[in-house]
Each structure stands twice: as structure tokens, then as C-alpha cells.
Amino acid sequence: MPRVKHSPASRKRRKKVLKLAKGARGGRSKLYRTAKETVQRALSYAYRDRKTRKRDYRNLWINRINAACRRHNMSYSKFIKGLKENKIELNRKMLAEIAATDDNNFSKLVKLVKGE
């Protein structure tokens, strides 16, 4: 029985790791063992930060809406509560966009919420 070394498979596996480590500096992109560690860490950070990005954006939108509400003498929580009571279904991303670019329409929303 001849000895089997799995050369094509292991070469393919090593090339895949080295390709993923391409942007790293020095031996981290050239040497397989250190490149493997680098790639593993990078992939775990990428997975974690895909979740974090969603939280960060929602936080940003809430801050922008809050700032726009404060300009119109209203708190963020009262504004959101008023939108729900008036059955206005705009998500925070769109509200933040309106608050940042179109102050005229945002003030109309605030007036609607205040009941003026």
C-alpha cells in the first residue's frame, strides 16, 4: 500500500489561509503558522463586529433624532411615544435621515406629535 500525503488538499488549505492573510505585515502574511493565527483572529473579530455595527448604527440614529428633538424642545422618548400613538411607522434610520437633511419635515412631525 503506497503512502498517502494529501499534498493537493493541504497545499490548497495553506494557500487559502495565506490568501486571507494577504494584508498582514511581515511573517503574518508569509509564514503559514503565524498567518493561520492572524486569519483566525481576524475572522473572529469580523464576526463580532458585524453584530456590533448594527448596535453602533442604531445608537447613532437615536443620537441624531434626539439632537433634532431637543432643537424643537422635545425629548426623544416623548417624540417616539407620540409617533407610536399617532400610528406613524417610521424606523429610526429614516427618522435620523429626515432629522439630518430635512428639518422642515421633521418639524412637521414634531408638531404632529405635540398635537399642535
Of 63, 109, 49, the residue nearest 83 (C-alpha): 109
Domains annotated on the chain, with CATH: 12-114 (1.10.1900.20)
The tens digit of pLDDT for each residue in 13-35 reads: 999 999 999 999 999 999 999 99
What integer best gives the mean pLDDT of the chain?
A: 94
So what's the pLDDT on residue 3?
A: 85
How confident is residue 48, by pLDDT bands cut at 50, 70 and 90? very high
> Please, what's the b/e burial string for 3-36 (b: 16 or more CB within 10 A of its CB; e: otherwise)?
eeeeeeeeeeeeeebbebbeebeeebbeeeeebb
The tens digit of pLDDT for each residue in 88-109 reads: 999 999 999 999 999 999 999 9
Of 49, 20, 44, the residue nearest 28 (C-alpha): 20
Q: How many angstroms separate the CA atoms of 69 and 48, rounded? A: 32
- pLDDT of 110 higher than 90: yes
Per the model's pLDDT, the better-predicted residue between 59 and 4 turns out to be 59
pTM of the model: 0.79
Percent of the chain surpassing pLDDT 70: 100
